[in-house]
Amino acid sequence: MRYNKKELKLKLDFNNMMSKSVADGFTERDFARNAAAIAQAHADVTAGRGNGMMGWTQLPYNQDEVVADILATANAVRKNFEYFVVLGIGGSALGPIAAFQAICHLHYNDLPKRKRKGPKFYVEDNVDPERMVALLDVIDPAKTMFNVITKSGSTSETMTQYLIIHDLLTKTLGDKAKDHIIATTSRSTGNLIKIAGKEGYKTFYIPDGVGGRFSELCPVGLLPAAVCGIDIKGMLLGARAMDEQCATSSIKKNPALMAATLQWMAMRKGKNVSVMMPYADGLKYIADWYCQLWGESLGKNKTLDGKDCNVGQTPVKALGVTDQHSQVQLYAEGPFDKVITFIAVDNYRETVEIPQGCEEFPNVNFLCGHTMNELIQAERTATEYAITKAGKLNHTITLPVLNEFTLGELLMFFMLKTAYTGALMGIDTFNQPGVEEGKNATYALLGRPGYDEKRAELANAPQKALKYTI
């Protein structure tokens, strides 16, 4: 498919982050005062491209052979399997879910096979035992391809799922079990690459410099997308277009750098909550994906030079119009501690007219003759107005239409924004020591070898008092 880069360009409207619209907003003087820090953040991210844990910056450019392999594999899966199941957690699950929801039919799995043109798609991103049993109630493992995704091959949740599925497939299919599992993992380290080699699984590799929350544009996300018929070349083209636009250090021309600067300045004013509110059901799980990207990247207790900091901005997911009836009351009249990001879509992929009716009820009949498209746009505009009138900082990202190209743009925009924000904050954007503490405690509780010291630490933890349990 061909995409018009100019017509599909993402737009960032930050009027309502400025003092002209909101009393607590920013001025041109604020940009000038922070010009050195902004320039340094851009320089730091540019210098880090392709190095360390910034391998994700190269994904729009260096995957031609991988993409060809993915497309061939996906085509075979679509022809030979009725179900495709991702086994993963965190970025290995949230990215594939977000892309599937964004591009595929919103009731994809309920469509007849002739309309789906691909296998039913499921992502198992938890270890709730009821969920695993429920999955096995609706799929036939003998007609299912399972994609096990973990870079380390020691992620407890994913490897638990793998052990269950491997055992089930081996008991039912014997030697053919290997034909029902694809491994996506590190090429050089970890357990899964060794298991894949031993069992003979088809394998895709996660580049060393790509962490889970930055992995949607590598085989982690591209294979599930391709299996579902999503144009992954289009996604990469969109990501590349955004990356090229953000090459400039000019804050007025680089949307990700501008968005990062605004969020950073807002955090310094005590705006410690970031609300992501798309106005399209297709983008619902982009908000979930963003929550991991933003929270795990920026929630840190040490600066790069080792100073205590305890910084971060809590991400909150919402959905327009749904959450106008649940959360917006808080955003409008609650504390001044939030920055709200609206995501708008200029042109929805479908148009639904509101028919005539209820003539005796003017407060219903006024809707007649309009479209659902007009209604959702009006509701977004009205909510933006109400939030701004209430003096709350907000800005809007607009996609001309939701397709593979603009999805790629949006993913790269948020990843670059996160990298710039972390650089402005002076933290390591790409580690997650807080997550590791919980993982290590889990390993100790379940008896993993090498965690005796942590097990002893847990045994000596203060005991809970019964008087504080009702």
Number of H helices, E strands in the chain: 18, 12
Taken as a whole, the chain contains a residue count of 470
**What does the alpha-carbon distance between residue 300 and residue 243 come to, in Å, rounded to a whole number?**
26
The residue behind tokens 């019964």 is 466
Do 193 and 186 meet the contact criterion of CB atoms below 8 Å apart? yes
120 phi, psi to nearest 5 deg: -65, 145
- CB count, 10 Å around CB of 197? 11
- CB count, 10 Å around CB of 198? 9
Q: Which tokens sit at 127?
A: 């270890």
Active-site residue flag, 395? no
Look at the alpha carbons of 378, 380, 381, 386 in this order and tell me if their dihedral is positive or negative.
positive
Active-site residue flag, 325? yes
Nearest to 419 by CA among 41, 25, 12: 41
Read out DSSP for 259-327? Answer: HHHHHHHHHHTT--EEEEEESSGGGHHHHHHHHHHHHHHH-EEE-TTS-EEEE--EEEE--TTGGGGTT
CA torsion, ordered 45, 48, 49, 53, to nearest 10 deg: -110
**What does the alpha-carbon distance between residue 9 and residue 16 come to, in Å, rounded to a whole number?**
21
Nearest to 290 by CA among 394, 396, 408, 414: 414
Q: 248 in the Ramachandran plot: left (φ > 0), alpha (ψ -120 to 50) or beta? A: beta
Q: Which of 79, 252, 325, 464 is catalytic?
A: 325
Active-site residue flag, 370? no
Nearest to 384 by CA among 102, 15, 9: 15
Q: Which of 178, 269, 439, 454 is catalytic?
A: 439
Euclidean distance between the first and the last CA atom of the chain, given in angstroms as a whole number: 61
Q: Which of 124, 157, 216, 296 is catalytic?
A: 296
Helical H segments across 81-211, by residue range: 91-103, 113-116, 129-138, 156-173, 191-199
Catalytic residues: 296, 325, 439
